[in-house]
Copies of this chain bind each other. A is one copy, B any other.
């Protein structure tokens, strides 16, 4: 069943009602009631549009359309889960765009207007955000063999609920027959940019060619509990003060490089005992360094070690860093970039090659299957915020672009590199 751009916008508005927040965004962390409600609606949408719905053991929700019996799939998708108090577009836009593109191309194939060599499927990857269950990109990590299914299912949120329990609380656990990696020939994903490069340059669509390099850490600051009032300043071993020095040092690090060369952040922190009259004995936090330049990242990592040592000395605490993620300046397949570019050219959309700072499910998929990653503009680059916004004309332009990309992929245009 083909769809119109008006239908896409109408579906998007309906979908954005699940987990809607007063501030105009959505709040549907993975496996919550709001996420399950969105998944249910999407499952019904798939059925209404002729897809077969199949959910795998990691909670990835697929819709398949078989146009070439027995052939592998061109898989399109992204994720429907969100950060807390997040925007409507991040992930959800890409899933719905993928579903509409799949429906359109399958209709053309059925009508004989294509010469398809692959089947078509759409996926809603489980827990891309990682805010409730760490790590992020969980569903696509299991699918691509980077994370053991058992480990994913056993992951607990801060309240102690596991992924397995959170998934069981939903009603899409259809289980059998879902696609596995070997069934997938090509992958394509579209996402809002979450930055403002396209907007600033007046470019309509972006073809993602590389991912920023990143080094992520878990930082533990160990001090000693004591009374906030009576302990002399020079006797204190204040873990929260040590943590504050690390946060400030990470920020200062970014200022030592040219603008846009290093992004640093600390965003999550746990303090013990977190009492108003007891100096903290421990603070645990994340710390991320990201750069579009491998050398900058390496220098930043060296500098960080020095700054950590300074913070330790000043706060009389012990600070340990454990690297939790490290990836280099990874390229998307040039053939995929070329196919995305050719598609934009054909449709007359202004386009540019662009790097992604954020990780996406395509970050996993591109490592194992030829992948095309597309961006549409984000107003003011705002993301992970209820004010996240992409204009309707940009949104439907993206659906058209993804449809053309899918058309070409289904025809077998993209050679594996």
Q: How many residues of A contact B (CB 8 A)?
A: 71
Complex contact A84–B131 (CB within 8 A):
no
Is A342 on the interface with B (CB-CB < 8 A)? no
Q: Which residues in window 269-296 of A have CB below 8 A to B?
A: 269, 271-281, 286, 288, 290
Is A170 on the interface with B (CB-CB < 8 A)? no
Complex contact A357–B229 (CB within 8 A):
yes
Q: What is the CB-to-nearest-CB distance from A143 to chain B, in angstroms, rounded to a whole number?
A: 20
- What is the interface of chain A, defined by CB distance below 8 A to chain B? 83-86, 129-131, 134, 136, 193-196, 212, 214, 224-235, 238, 240-241, 243-245, 247-248, 251, 254-255, 259-260, 263-269, 271-281, 286, 288, 290, 356-359, 381-386
Complex contact A384–B267 (CB within 8 A):
no
Chain B neighbourhood of A384, CB < 8 A: 225-228, 275, 277-279
Complex contact B232–A381 (CB within 8 A):
yes
Q: Which 7 A-B pairs have the closest CB atoms?
A: A244-B247, A228-B265, A84-B273, A131-B275, A244-B244, A230-B357, A194-B230
Q: A243-B244, A359-B229 are in contact. Are A268 and B259 (CB under 8 A)?
A: no
Q: What is the CB-to-nearest-CB distance from A300 to chain B, in angstroms, rounded to a whole number?
A: 13
Complex contact B358–A84 (CB within 8 A):
no
Complex contact A268–B265 (CB within 8 A):
no
Given B85, B271, B356, which contacts A225 in the complex, CB threshold below 8 Å?
B85
Q: What is the CB-to-nearest-CB distance from A53 to chain B, in angstroms, rounded to a whole number?
A: 29
Chain B neighbourhood of A276, CB < 8 A: 130-131, 134, 136, 267-268, 286, 288
Q: What is the CB-to-nearest-CB distance from A18 to chain B, in angstroms, rounded to a whole number?
A: 19
In the bound assembly, the distance between CA atoms of A118 and B226 in angstroms comes to 38
In the bound assembly, the distance between CA atoms of A245 and B224 in angstroms comes to 21
Complex contact A381–B259 (CB within 8 A):
no
Complex contact A268–B263 (CB within 8 A):
no
Complex contact A278–B238 (CB within 8 A):
no
Which residue on B lies nearest to A158, using beta carbons?
B274
How many copies of this chain are found per oligomer? 2
Q: What is the CB-to-nearest-CB distance from A178 to chain B, in angstroms, rounded to a whole number?
A: 27
From A227, A231, A235, A290, residue with most partner B Cβ within 10 Å: A227
In the bound assembly, the distance between CA atoms of A229 and B231 in angstroms comes to 39
**Given A130-B275, A226-B385, A227-B384; 10 other pairs, CB 8 A cutoff:** A84-B275, A227-B383, A232-B259, A232-B260, A233-B251, A238-B251, A244-B251, A244-B266, A267-B278, A277-B358
In the bound assembly, the distance between CA atoms of A243 and B234 in angstroms comes to 22
Chain B neighbourhood of A259, CB < 8 A: 232-234
Q: What is the CB-to-nearest-CB distance from A201 to chain B, in angstroms, rounded to a whole number?
A: 14
Chain B neighbourhood of A272, CB < 8 A: 84
Q: What is the CB-to-nearest-CB distance from A151 to chain B, in angstroms, rounded to a whole number?
A: 17
Given B214, B226, B251, B385, which contacts A224 in the complex, CB threshold below 8 Å?
B385
26 contacts across the A-B interface (CB closer than 8 A): A83-B225, A84-B272, A84-B278, A129-B275, A129-B277, A130-B275, A131-B275, A195-B230, A212-B229, A226-B382, A227-B383, A227-B384, A229-B265, A230-B263, A230-B357, A230-B381, A233-B263, A238-B251, A238-B265, A244-B251, A244-B266, A245-B248, A267-B278, A268-B276, A277-B384, A278-B384
Chain B neighbourhood of A229, CB < 8 A: 194, 212, 214, 263, 265, 288, 290, 357-359
Chain B neighbourhood of A382, CB < 8 A: 226
